[in-house]
Structure 1
Amino acid sequence: MARIALGVEYAGSLYHGWQSQPDGNTVQDHLQTALSQIAGEAIAVIAAGRTDTGVHASGQVVHFDTEVVRPLSAWVRGVNRFLPPDIAVQWAHPVADHFHARFSAFARRYRYVLLNRPTRPALGQGQLGWFHAPLDLTAMQQAAVYLQGEHDFSCFRAAECQAKSPIKHLTRAALWQQDNKIIFEFQANAFLHHMVRNMVGALVYVGKGAHPPSWMQQLLAAKDRRFAPPTFMPDGLVLTAVGYPAEFALPAPCFSEE
């Protein structure tokens, strides 16, 4: 039995999220079907993280076990022949039996790209978040500082979240501007369901002047989802990288402990 890790890139706009569903229109369903074509046997994959409907990935990592022997190129170019054009395997790497795409990961990194201009986008539809009113970048950056560190993130947790604990360690919460886009980047040991989109929504409320930066600290202290803004749109959210111990030597965009 061999264990193989894959790096997977996908645009999530047309799919019902990552996790397998009865209708079969998920990224996991399409990937498993394509892998099974190459393996000649049923293949089940486990991912580093489950992305929601409309959320994208440039650095998703999965693993699977198989009895068959194939060159690594078959798990990349061969599998891609059977995938839709908006899902693609980027690399394949043999890993030890104790590697686990989810449980071996020590961090996940997400990026959110928000178009900030009066009119909605036509180009990049589904790939960009959008907010029409001017945003105060400095105030948002000040608010983001409060998010860093270990906190109870219940105020940013979806009602259907299945995580055992709302306590997560956010090691990076940064944002900057590129022309008329605001780029958010978050890195943590793990994320709650809708956590990134809810943090972006709260930062936008600060940016539009509805609350001061210190309001972020109050939200965290309240530990109550009812006090935070609505969940922001998924369109601009991308899982960009997953962190694993250096012993596994996974290709980029994975990263090792610093």
Structure 2
Amino acid sequence: MRNLRALVEYDGTNYHGFQRQPNAITIQEVLETSLADLTGEDLEIIGASRTDSGVHALAQVVNFKTESPIPIEKFAFAWTNVLPDDILIKKVEKVSWDFHARYFATGKIYEYHILNQRLPSVFERNYTHHIKKKLNYKDLVEAADYLVGTYDFTSFQAAGCGANTTVRTINSLTVQGIDSKLIFRIEGDAFLYKMVRNIVGTLIEIGQGKLNKDNLVEILAAKDRTVAGPTAPACGLRLIKVKY
């Protein structure tokens, strides 16, 4: 019996998030079904991040325990071969028996991509949030700094979150402009349910002039989801890295 850790890339467009659900297709279900086909075992996949419906991942981390004799150096290739084209196993390695993809994680990095131009893009529609009106880049960069640090992020927590505490630490939050694309990159110890998308939705309102950066202090202090901006669409979000 081995405890294996896998690095998984996926396009979340056609899935109802990572975590298995009774009446919807999810990344976890497809991974577990494909593993059963590959190994003949009924295995449980543990994921580092429970990405939402439509959210993508470049480097989701999962682990599972298996008795399969497939050589470790061939496991990623063999597993990818029984998966649909929108899920890829990038790496598989043996880890300690007690390793847990979610509980051992010390931090996560996400990116949110916005296409900020008059016309949308056919090729970017599933991977960026299109905003026609020009956003104020300077205001976005300055506002992002206000959220770096350790705070109670209740105002950016969606309903249904089961976290024991709403205090989180954001280590960095940057905004990069590349042609007509804006890329928000956020690193933190952990995130509340839809926290990243709620933060981005609020920053968008600042970029549109509906809020100003000083409002972020009031929003954090209010500990009230209704005072923050809307939830940005899932398509623009991607999990970039899980840190251990």
Tell me, yes or no, if the aligned pair for 1:57 and 1:239 is still in contact at 8 Å. yes
Question: Normalising by the residue count of structure 2, what TM-score does the alignment of the two structures yield?
Answer: 0.97
- Structure 1 segments, 4+ long, off by >3 Å, are none
2:143 corresponds in structure 1 to 143
CA distance in structure 2 between the aligned counterparts of 1:87 and 1:40, rounded to whole angstroms: 20
**2:171 partner amino acid:** T
CA distance in structure 2 between the aligned counterparts of 1:46 and 1:142, rounded to whole angstroms: 37
1:133 corresponds in structure 2 to 133
Question: Deviation at 1:156?
Answer: 0.6
Question: Deviation at 1:67?
Answer: 2.1
SS where residue 200 of structure 1 aligns?
helix
1:201 corresponds in structure 2 to 201
Question: Deviation at 1:162?
Answer: 1.3
1:223 corresponds in structure 2 to 223
Task: Write out aligned runs for 1:21-60 (5 A).
Answer: 21-23=21-23, 25-60=25-60
SS where residue 29 of structure 1 aligns?
helix
Tell me, yes or no, if the aligned pair for 1:110 and 1:241 is still in contact at 8 Å. yes
**1:12 partner amino acid:** G
Unaligned runs of 5+ residues in structure 2 are: none
SS where residue 115 of structure 1 aligns?
strand
**2:119 partner amino acid:** T
SS where residue 13 of structure 2 aligns?
coil
Question: Deviation at 1:169?
Answer: 0.6
SS where residue 193 of structure 2 aligns?
coil
Q: Deviations over 1:200-252 (max 9, x none)?
A: 011000001112211111111111001012111011100000101xxxxxxxx
Q: Deviations over 1:30-52 (max 9, x none)?
A: 01111112211111110101000
CA distance in structure 1 between the aligned counterparts of 2:166 and 2:118, rounded to whole angstroms: 36
Task: Write out aligned runs for 1:101-250 (5 A).
Answer: 101-244=101-244
1:8 corresponds in structure 2 to 8
Q: Deviations over 1:47-92 (max 9, x none)?
A: 1010000000001000000122221244211111111100111000
1:97 corresponds in structure 2 to 97
**1:59 partner amino acid:** A
SS where residue 161 of structure 1 aligns?
coil
Question: Normalising by the residue count of structure 1, what TM-score does the alignment of the two structures yield?
Answer: 0.92
Question: Deviation at 1:24?
Answer: 5.2
2:65 corresponds in structure 1 to 65
CA distance in structure 2 between the aligned counterparts of 1:55 and 1:158, rounded to whole angstroms: 16
CA distance in structure 2 between the aligned counterparts of 1:75 and 1:35, rounded to whole angstroms: 10
With 31-40 and 181-190 compared, the bigger mean Cα shift is at: 31-40
CA distance in structure 2 between the aligned counterparts of 1:144 and 1:118, rounded to whole angstroms: 24
SS where residue 234 of structure 2 aligns?
coil
CA distance in structure 1 between the aligned counterparts of 2:182 and 2:213, rounded to whole angstroms: 17
With 178-187 and 64-73 compared, the bigger mean Cα shift is at: 64-73
With 228-237 and 52-61 compared, the bigger mean Cα shift is at: 228-237
Tell me, yes or no, if the aligned pair for 1:38 and 1:75 is still in contact at 8 Å. no
